[in-house]
């Protein structure tokens, strides 16, 4: 049975809570500014940021509301959507385009009689804990609107930056730039027990200072533990899905060999293997994800949230504070409160 690792000295920045604690705090916005400047690698320099409301409503009541992880405005009016994406989504790219479209449409100056369509820059930045469809070894992707044939940039005010963290495999002695050090820190902070010399920089020292578990308040520690539990549940579900997929693929391959043998010639043999392998792999992934996520993720997260909310309520923490710390709805808190009475 899989046992979750014991939390170390520092928080995991790739949990929902850890990500927002490091990058989503106004008093510590210099951390996000430095990260973004390293990401743009000198092509753009950000001197200041303002955090905005992460919710965006559509023009009409029926329009779907979008909620960003982080939404910031730079000192030149440019807007940054900063997201952390743990799981692969079928329509992730579509969602990124939809989010930026909603942000662009909100720039329309409806209070004026006329408008010249001049837009501010919009950047979508995503830290991905999975590999995208591409099979190359590039971990940093910069996408813009460009000519398909000549690759000439058509519009430079809209850009998507995707960082595939699984592809960043550099070791300590291979870190050359501050961007390398940032990505290494994000992947390995939770496993460190001290500040290494190769991260001897003011902004990194600040990251270690605010990421220290011992400095979290009790309600903050509850929120972090809940977020960490959600990440562990997801990882456990993925491992279970991979195990089921491997078992079904092996069975399917055996069925393929048998089918090929029965067909009596090499072509049939190869076709049978391919068909059986693909079918079994697909069945395994679907079944594994369904069972793993349903049993481990949903049940585990809900039970943990209920336990933490009950404890926080009994300690006199206000309901609106609980909603902000645990990122739950007021309705869910009220439901837990009624159930514990």
- How would you class 182 by CB atoms within 10 Å of its CB: exposed for 0-12, middle for 13-18, buried for 19 or more? buried
Quick one: pLDDT at residue 150? 97
Q: Which residue has the tokens 């992934």?
A: 285
Structure tokens at 208: 């270690």
pLDDT tops 70 at residue 18: yes
Overall average pLDDT of the 281-286 stretch: 55
More confident residue, 88 or 70: 70
CA 103, 321, 14: angle at the middle one, nearest 5? 60
Confidence of residue 173 (pLDDT cuts 50, 70, 90): very high
pLDDT digits (tens, 9 = 90+) for 248-264: 777 777 776 666 666 65
Asked whether the predicted pLDDT for residue 81 surpasses 60, the reply is: yes
Per the listing, tokens 């100056």 go with 109
pLDDT at 317: 75
Task: Give the span between the Cα atoms of 189 and 185, in whole angstroms.
Answer: 5
> What pLDDT does residue 78 have?
96
pLDDT of residue 1: 31
Question: How confident is the model over 296-300, as a mean pLDDT?
Answer: 53
- Asked if pLDDT for residue 65 goes beyond 70, the answer is no
Pair type for strands 79-85 and 70-74: antiparallel
> How do the residues of the chain divide into helix, strand and coil, expressed in percent and rounded to 5?
55, 15, 30
For residue 125, is pLDDT > 90?
yes
> In 3-state terms, what secondary structure has residue 1?
coil
């Amino acid at each position: 049975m899989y046992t979750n690792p014991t939390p170390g000295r520092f928080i995991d920045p790739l949990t929902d809570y850890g990500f927002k604690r490091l990058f989503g705090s106004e008093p510590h916005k210099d951390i996000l500014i430095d990260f973004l400047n390293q990401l743009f690698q000198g092509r753009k320099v950000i001197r200041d940021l303002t955090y905005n409301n992460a919710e965006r409503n559509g023009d009409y009541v029926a329009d779907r509301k979008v909620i960003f992880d982080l939404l910031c405005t730079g000192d030149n009016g440019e807007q940054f959507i900063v997201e952390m994406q743990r799981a692969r989504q079928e329509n992730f790219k579509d969602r990124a385009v939809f989010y930026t479209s909603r942000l662009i449409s909100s720039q329309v100056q409806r209070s004026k009689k006329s408008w010249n369509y001049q837009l501010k820059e919009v950047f979508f930045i995503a830290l991905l804990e999975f590999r995208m469809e591409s099979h190359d070894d590039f971990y940093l992707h910069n996408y813009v609107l460009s000519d398909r044939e000549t690759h000439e940039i058509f519009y430079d005010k809209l850009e998507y930056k995707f960082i595939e963290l699984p592809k960043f495999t550099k070791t300590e002695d291979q870190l050359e730039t501050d961007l390398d050090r940032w990505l290494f820190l994000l992947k390995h902070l939770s496993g460190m027990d001290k500040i290494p010399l190769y991260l001897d920089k003011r902004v990194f020292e600040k990251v270690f200072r605010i990421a220290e578990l011992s400095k979290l308040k009790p309600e903050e520690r509850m929120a972090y533990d809940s977020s960490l539990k959600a990440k562990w549940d997801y990882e456990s579900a993925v491992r279970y899905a991979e195990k089921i997929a491997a078992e079904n693929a092996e069975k399917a391959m055996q069925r393929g060999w048998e089918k090929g043998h029965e067909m009596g010639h090499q072509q049939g043999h190869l076709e049978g293997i391919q068909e059986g392998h693909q079918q079994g792999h697909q069945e395994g992934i679907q079944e594994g994800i369904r069972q793993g996520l349903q049993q481990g993720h949903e049940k585990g997260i809900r039970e943990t949230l209920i336990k933490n909310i009950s404890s926080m309520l009994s300690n006199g923490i206000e309901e609106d504070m609980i909603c902000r710390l645990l990122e739950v709805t007021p309705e869910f808190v009220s439901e837990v409160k009624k159930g514990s009475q």
